[in-house]
Amino acid sequence: MRQLIKGTTIEIINSESVETVENVLVGEPVQTETVCGKTVQYTVGIPKGDSHLWEDKKLRIFGKIFRTVGLCEQGIEENIPLFWNKKIRAELMLTNADITVYEKNTMTKHILNDVFFCDRRGQITEKTGGKSDGEVSIFVYSANNPEYIPKSEDIVVGAVTDFEFDTSDERTVSESMKIFRQQYPHFAVVRTVTPVLCGLLYDYEITAR
């Protein structure tokens, strides 16, 4: 019997490769609210016999980048008449920045790509018309496989910088910090880092001031 429902081709984006998966069923889009704002989720139907890993992955669906959320749900293959027996949620990634993080004490520099970065410091409030204290909100996606996770009291700049601290001794560190403050007056210092389980790995919600 010929199957009338047909899937589409999507890509799984790994750190060093891209895998094409054919006949993937993509459900109707649903709008959801996340810490980064409103986004879109699909339920993705995975073909029978597929052996790819789907948890904590980036997907290219209809030309846009999504990431999987949660774990795969799987049914008994022989009890399902269609071509798909597994499913997982895919969420449109809301990314707007590459950022630079300097470790507390050592001043070692790290670049984190494709994060969500929102600086609310000094914003004008609608009710009073005055400036709010606000804070910097950063969201690091597990699907991006970050090599370093910011920690409390690390320094963050909401852009990629080429600045390197001279850590030869206390005096040079102090002089470097003076130059750094002049070049990047809007830097922030990490206050909290909250891990949020996404699938098998953790996303990280970060606040800084």
**According to the model, what pLDDT value does residue 76 have?**
74
What stretches of 48-144 adopt beta strand conformation (E)?
58-61, 64-74, 84-92, 97-102, 109-119, 136-140
Instruction: Give the Cα separation of 6 and 103 in Å (integer).
Output: 50
Within the chain, residue ranges assigned H as helices are 170-183
What pLDDT is stored for residue 2 in this prediction?
45
Q: How many other β-carbons are positioned within 10 Å of the β-carbon of residue 205? A: 17
pLDDT at 126: 60
pLDDT at 180: 98
Q: What is the pLDDT of residue 192?
A: 98
CA–CA separation, 137 vs 68, rounded Å?
22
Q: What is the pTM of this model?
A: 0.89
Q: What angle do CA 199, 96, 24 make, to 5 degrees?
A: 45
How confident is the model at residue 174, as a pLDDT? Answer: 96
pLDDT of residue 12: 98
What pLDDT is stored for residue 132 in this prediction?
Answer: 59
Q: CA dihedral defined by 74, 79, 83, 87, rounded to 10 degrees?
A: -20
Query: For position 167, what pLDDT does the model report?
Result: 96
pLDDT at 1: 39
List, for the chain, all residue ranges whose pLDDT scores fall below the cut of 50: 1-2, 4
Cα dihedral 102→104→105→106 (10° resolution): -40
Record the tokens describing residue 181, joined without a space: 């403050």
* Residue 163 contacts residue 141 (beta carbons within 8 Å): no
Q: What is the dihedral of CA 148, 66, 69, 96, to 10 degrees?
A: 50
